[in-house]
């Protein structure tokens, strides 16, 4: 565990929100993704605190010691950004930098779009910014478009997550195996070690489950220890997967919710890093090109060769150093 860490729990937005802090100075608020924990930022917490910043890492809605409301619509992007706003306001540090990885990246991107007065810069990892597209025509939704792309013979992990209870049953049957296998499957190590022939993009044969796609390595990669894995398992065992899965169950609502911001631009300084073998969450050359055109002040855009999805853990020193350099450029 990280030494010198302070834990906080606040009441906001009808729930309790847990976050940790270390260091003093300008605040950097970090948002994790699925199925993770504030602990995913452990390396950056240390690096930022040492560099003279106040490192702040949230337990996102549905995870760890933060509340996990029952209602599916309690996990839409407005609620998720609202929780980040609540923590930023509680810090009483003025405008802060917001950072996000995986699902935390859209929280950071849309936080920057919705509240430029509060978030002075945006850092996104592994999920490029996708500008609002406005409400879709009647009869068309994102899930339907994903199903068309998958075709009749394939399922897609985001579609597999849609039916309440189905994915929970699959993933919670053996949480340790799920976490071990999921962390490994979409890391750069699975491809490098020859356990998969091409990066996993989230598609798999129709009729199978996500857990059937997972690979449990005999030894964990160097970037994660058994103690680290135990912490993730402990956190997920307490909260279950339901809250995190409910984020995916709001994907269809995203275009309408963000429609008021159609045509708006994130003008604050921004930063993006991804891994070259990460195809799980839209980290494609086309998406990155679109992001570069949509952001008003993209100061750092880097793809790390050989890295997978868990970039701030797989390439901890590279990510931490790049983040600190970006932050120094803001001062």
Give yes or no: 309 in active site. yes
Report the pLDDT value the prediction gives residue 282, as an integer from 0 to 100. Answer: 80
Q: What is the mean pLDDT of the chain?
A: 96
| Domain positions in the chain | 6-135+257-328, 142-248
> What is the spatial distance between Cα 292 and Cα 189, in angstroms, rounded to a whole number?
28
Distances in Å between the Cα of 182 and the Cα atoms of 141, 164, 210 are 27, 20, 9
Catalytic residue among 76, 83, 102, 189, which? 102
Model confidence band, residue 284 (pLDDT cutoffs 50, 70, 90): confident
Tens of pLDDT, residue by residue over 152-176, are: 999 999 999 999 999 999 999 999 9
Instruction: For residue 3, count CB atoms less than 10 angstroms from its CB and return exposed for 0-12, middle for 13-18, buried for 19 or more.
Output: exposed
Q: Which CATH number fits domain 6-135+257-328: 3.40.50.1820, 3.40.50.12280, 3.90.850.10, 3.40.980.10?
A: 3.40.50.1820
Catalytic residue among 18, 79, 203, 309, which? 309
What percent of the chain has a predicted confidence (pLDDT) above 90?
Answer: 93
Give yes or no: 141 in active site. no
115 token code pair: 């509240």
């Amino acid at each position: 565990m990280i030494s010198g860490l302070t834990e906080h729990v606040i009441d906001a937005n009808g729930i309790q929100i847990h976050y940790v802090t270390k260091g003093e100075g300008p605040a950097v608020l970090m948002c994790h993704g699925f199925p993770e924990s504030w602990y995913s930022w452990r390396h950056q917490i240390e690096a930022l605190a040492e560099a003279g910043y106040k490192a702040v890492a949230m337990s996102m809605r549905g995870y760890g010691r933060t509340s996990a409301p029952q209602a599916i619509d309690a996990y839409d992007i407005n609620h998720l950004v609202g929780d980040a706003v609540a923590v930023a306001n509680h810090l009483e540090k003025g405008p802060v930098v917001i950072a996000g990885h995986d699902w935390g990246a859209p929280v950071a991107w849309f936080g920057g779009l919705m509240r430029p007065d509060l978030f002075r810069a945006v850092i996104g990892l592994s999920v490029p910014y996708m500008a609002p597209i406005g409400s879709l025509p009647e009869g068309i939704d994102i899930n339907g478009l994903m199903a068309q792309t998958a075709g009749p013979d394939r399922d897609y992990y985001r579609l597999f997550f849609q039916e309440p209870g189905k994915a929970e049953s699959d993933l919670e049957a053996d949480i340790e195996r799920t976490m071990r296998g999921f962390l490994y499957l979409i890391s750069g190590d699975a491809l490098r070690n020859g356990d998969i022939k091409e990066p996993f993009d989230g598609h798999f044969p129709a009729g199978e489950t996500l857990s059937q796609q997972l690979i449990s390595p005999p030894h964990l990669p160097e970037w994660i220890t058994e103690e680290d894995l135990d912490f993730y398992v402990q956190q997920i065992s307490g909260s279950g997967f339901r809250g995190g899965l409910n984020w995916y169950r709001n994907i269809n609502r995203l275009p309408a919710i963000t429609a008021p911001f159609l045509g708006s631009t994130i003008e604050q300084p921004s930063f993006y890093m991804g891994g070259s073998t990460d195809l799980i969450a839209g980290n494609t050359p086309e998406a990155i090109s679109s992001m570069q055109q949509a952001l008003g002040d993209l100061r750092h855009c880097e793809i790390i060769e050989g890295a997978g999805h868990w970039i701030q853990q797989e390439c901890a020193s590279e990510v931490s150093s790049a983040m600190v350099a970006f932050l120094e450029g803001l001062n």
